[in-house]
């Protein structure tokens, strides 16, 4: 097979230093700014007469058809008409629906099927060999633009969206690569703040497919689902072309498929225990893996971290001569207050203070994500960069006011209020619980929880126990989902049997929770929170008419 006729450009972005910055000492204290930090240090049908799924039940077909790699969440649309009607018309939020053109939809499903037939990332030994081989054949597309590379445990996607909004507000053409997706696989690759079209997604896949197959033939293992998607993103960004790419790791850092990119800015959001079977059993162990994205002479922007994680990250940064900016020291949240539709912030950045910044997202954790995003963009525009400029306050305000983050304390229905949040580990659940308590003040909150079996489910349930009056346990449509009876048994241990209801189907679980929220008139401020997994939230969004 011939090599590409026209390799991608190879103009890499310049090395970057923060103005006045100096390498961090090996083990400085991790300090909070003015006591404002609130983030914990420890940081994815028709009905028959009996009411049970029947032989011809579409929901059962969905469950049986799903893979554990990348489920096509759109199929959950079957049987969701009642909930859609209750929710009202779909809202524009940057999450794409299925293509209206039947031929395009058919072609997209073919691509999704081919991608889903590949191994998941965790099925293969950690290695960059396959990605490096693909990038070499394609002409190193990931070097055609500077990049901001993001790792961490929680907050990566929201932070990436904020960084993207800030860069776009300063007239840069952006590419954003995030995972997992909420509803459509095309969400993972964005240009200029919007997911690429289905047509462009299909075209990009077909363009690189012959070269992916070359790598498949050369190596011991075929390229994984995530590796192919990552290659597609880098190729799409080079083709656009973009001025800067915002790239979120899939898992870890050192051996993640995205780590063929050299980020001029590396961002580490809060580290907590997740994927412990792959990354390590302590925050320090996990930080060792995530530190691998910090490259020589880069600027690293660190969110608040557990002490052992901070020590690892700072030691690595010193070792590669990276410039360090730490939340609570070089930048941070000065103040925040709850506002209608979000919160009003004062942020201290690397270049000064930014007052009266409205962020249309809920929770203290999103304020901290905003501080990290601002520092990352300041670093990108820092002295020595080809984009050196002072950040204008009005532009910063406009950028943050435009940010959305689907599935992150997202309101999808009123009366009663239904909120979706993709918290899937105990640390994420704690910040979600704090955020929903602060922003909504429900007098009675019903939880709908569907989790993956490989998570710390007990820890997640314990984090939500103080805020849920009752919990409806369920499952999403993937084989990775925890068995509903096993989840119910854990829930009973945490909540007590009188507070637990079991509904194996997500649509029934949502309806049951809404009924529980509405059943007593004295609870005028009742609400529902659907959570536990990105997949659960994605399916709930479709059931409730979003996307």
Q: Which of 177, 125, 123 is nearest to 151 (CA)?
A: 177
Report DSSP state, residue 92: -
* Domain annotation covers residue 537: yes
Q: C-alpha distances in angstroms, 233 versus 129, 300, 479?
A: 18, 23, 27
Residue carrying the six token digits 């800067």: 244
Phi, psi (deg, nearest 5) at residue 246: -110, 115
58-67, 449-458, 487-496: range with lowest mean pLDDT: 58-67
**Do 381 and 440 share a domain, yes or no?**
no
**Do 301 and 442 share a domain, yes or no?**
no
Strand 244-248 and strand 147-151: the pairing is: parallel
Distance CA 500, CA 155 (A): 29
Contact predicate 82/544, CB 8 Å? no
**Do 381 and 426 share a domain, yes or no?**
no
Q: With 70 as the cut, is the pLDDT of residue 118 above it?
A: yes
Q: What is the pLDDT of residue 46?
A: 33
pLDDT tens-digit series, residues 260-293: 999 999 999 999 765 555 555 688 888 999 999 9
* Domain annotation covers residue 373: yes
Spatial neighbors of 124 by CB under 8 A, at least 6 apart, are 221, 224
Supply the CATH number for residue 424's domain.
3.90.190.20
**Do 316 and 219 share a domain, yes or no?**
yes
Distance CA 214, CA 219 (A): 9
**Do 421 and 384 share a domain, yes or no?**
no
Q: With 80 as the cut, is the pLDDT of residue 224 above it?
A: yes
Averaged pLDDT of the chain: 82
Give the tokens for residue 349: 């950045």
* Domain annotation covers residue 73: no
Q: What is the pLDDT of residue 182?
A: 85
Calculate mean pLDDT across residues 431-446. 93
Q: What is the pLDDT of residue 475?
A: 95
Q: With 50 as the cut, is the pLDDT of residue 444 above it?
A: yes
Residue carrying the six token digits 């349930």: 461
Highest mean pLDDT, choosing among 10-19, 38-47, 458-467: 458-467
Calculate mean pLDDT across residues 348-357. 91
Q: What is the pLDDT of residue 280?
A: 56
Calculate mean pLDDT across residues 13-34. 33
28-42, 120-134, 161-175: range with lowest mean pLDDT: 28-42
* Domain annotation covers residue 46: no
Q: With 70 as the cut, is the pLDDT of residue 19 above it?
A: no
Q: What is the pLDDT of residue 2?
A: 41
Phi, psi (deg, nearest 5) at residue 332: 170, -170
Contact predicate 142/261, CB 8 Å? yes
**Domain encompassing residue 460:** 407-543
* Domain annotation covers residue 461: yes
Sheet with 352-359, strands from edge to edge, namely 332-339, 342-349, 352-359
pLDDT tens-digit series, residues 489-501: 999 999 999 999 9
pLDDT tens-digit series, residues 357-391: 999 999 999 999 999 999 999 999 984 344 445 69
Q: With 90 as the cut, is the pLDDT of residue 530 above it?
A: yes
* Residue, of 135 and 272, whose pLDDT is higher: 135
**Do 305 and 415 share a domain, yes or no?**
no
Q: Which of 343, 375, 365 is nearest to 356 (CA)?
A: 343
**Do 317 and 228 share a domain, yes or no?**
yes
Q: Which of 323, 327, 334, 324 is nearest to 304 (CA)?
A: 327
Calculate mean pLDDT across residues 230-249. 97
Q: With 80 as the cut, is the pLDDT of residue 305 above it?
A: yes
Q: What is the pLDDT of residue 72?
A: 35
**Do 145 and 262 share a domain, yes or no?**
yes
Q: What is the pLDDT of residue 123?
A: 60
Q: What is the pLDDT of residue 547?
A: 57
Structural domain count of the chain: 2
Calculate mean pLDDT across residues 143-148. 98
217-231, 259-273, 511-525: range with lowest mean pLDDT: 511-525
**Do 420 and 509 share a domain, yes or no?**
yes
Cα angle 382, 388, 394 (rounded to 5 degrees) comes to 95
* Domain annotation covers residue 52: no
Calculate mean pLDDT across residues 410-420. 93
**Do 420 and 512 share a domain, yes or no?**
yes
Single residue among 390, 425, 443 that ends a domain in this structure: 390
Supply the CATH number for residue 183's domain.
3.40.1190.10
Give 183's pLDDT tier (boundaries 50, 70, 90): confident
pTM: 0.79
Distance CA 473, CA 438 (A): 24
51-55, 259-263, 306-310, 424-428: range with lowest mean pLDDT: 51-55
Give 312's pLDDT tier (boundaries 50, 70, 90): very high
**Do 283 and 424 share a domain, yes or no?**
no
* Residue, of 80 and 472, whose pLDDT is higher: 472
Give 220's pLDDT tier (boundaries 50, 70, 90): confident
Distance CA 430, CA 46 (A): 36
Distance CA 547, CA 406 (A): 10
What is the gyration radius of the CA atoms in the chain, in angstroms? 23
* Domain annotation covers residue 66: no
**Do 472 and 384 share a domain, yes or no?**
no
* Domain annotation covers residue 51: no
Q: With 90 as the cut, is the pLDDT of residue 90 above it?
A: no
Distance CA 183, CA 304 (A): 30
Q: With 70 as the cut, is the pLDDT of residue 431 above it?
A: yes
Q: What is the pLDDT of residue 335?
A: 97
Calculate mean pLDDT across residues 493-513. 97
């Amino acid at each position: 097979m011939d090599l590409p006729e026209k390799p991608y450009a190879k103009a890499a972005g310049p090395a970057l230093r923060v103005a006045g910055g100096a390498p961090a000492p090996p083990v400085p204290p991790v300090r909070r700014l003015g006591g404002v930090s609130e983030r914990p240090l420890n940081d994815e049908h028709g009905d028959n007469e009996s009411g049970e799924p029947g032989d011809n039940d579409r929901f059962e077909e969905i469950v049986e058809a799903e893979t554990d790699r990348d489920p096509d969440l759109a199929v959950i649309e079957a049987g969701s008409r009642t909930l859609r009607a209750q929710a009202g018309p779909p809202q524009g939020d940057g999450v794409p629906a299925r293509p209206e053109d039947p031929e395009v939809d058919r072609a997209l499903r073919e691509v999704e099927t081919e991608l889903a037939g590949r191994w998941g990332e965790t099925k293969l030994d950690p290695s960059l060999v396959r990605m490096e081989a693909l990038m070499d054949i394609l002409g190193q597309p990931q070097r055609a633009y500077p990049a901001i590379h993001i790792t961490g445990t929680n907050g990566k996607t929201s932070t990436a969206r904020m960084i993207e909004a800030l860069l776009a507000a300063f007239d840069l053409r952006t590419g954003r690569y995030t995972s997992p997706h909420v509803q459509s696989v095309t969400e993972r690759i964005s240009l200029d703040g919007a997911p690429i079209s289905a047509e462009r997604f299909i075209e990009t896949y077909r363009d690189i497919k012959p070269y992916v197959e070359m790598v498949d033939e050369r190596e011991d293992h075929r390229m994984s689902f995530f590796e192919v998607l990552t290659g597609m993103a880098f190729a799409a960004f080079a083709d656009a072309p973009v001025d800067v790419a915002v790239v979120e790791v899939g898992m870890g850092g050192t051996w993640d498929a995205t780590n063929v990119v050299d980020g001029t800015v590396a961002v580490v959001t809060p580290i907590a225990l997740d994927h412990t079977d792959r990354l390590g059993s302590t925050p320090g162990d996990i930080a060792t893996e995530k530190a691998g994205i910090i490259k020589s002479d880069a600027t690293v922007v660190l969110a608040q971290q557990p002490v052992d994680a901070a020590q690892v990250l700072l030691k690595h940064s010193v070792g590669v001569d990276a410039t360090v900016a730490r939340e609570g020291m070089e930048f941070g949240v000065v103040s925040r207050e709850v506002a209608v539709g979000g919160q009003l912030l004062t942020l201290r950045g690397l270049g000064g203070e930014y007052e009266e910044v409205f962020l249309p997202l809920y929770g203290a954790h999103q304020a901290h994500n905003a501080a990290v995003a601002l520092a990352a963009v300041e670093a990108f525009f820092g002295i020595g960069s080809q984009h050196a400029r002072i950040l204008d306050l009005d532009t910063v305000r406009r950028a943050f006011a435009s940010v959305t983050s689907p599935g992150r304390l997202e309101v999808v229905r009123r009366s009663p209020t239904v909120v979706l949040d993709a918290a899937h580990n105990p640390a994420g659940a704690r910040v979600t619980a704090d955020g929903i308590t602060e922003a909504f003040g429900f007098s009675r909150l019903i939880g709908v929880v569907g989790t993956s079996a490989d998570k710390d489910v007990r820890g997640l349930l314990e984090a939500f126990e103080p805020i849920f009056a009752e919990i409806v346990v369920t499952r999403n449509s993937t084989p990775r989902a925890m068995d509903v009876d096993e989840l119910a048994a854990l829930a009973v241990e945490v909540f007590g049997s009188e507070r637990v209801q079991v509904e194996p189907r997500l649509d029934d679980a949502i309806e049951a929770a809404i009924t529980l929220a509405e059943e007593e008139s004295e609870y005028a401020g009742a609400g529902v929170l659907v959570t536990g997994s990105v997949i659960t939230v994605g399916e709930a969004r479709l059931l409730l008419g979003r996307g």
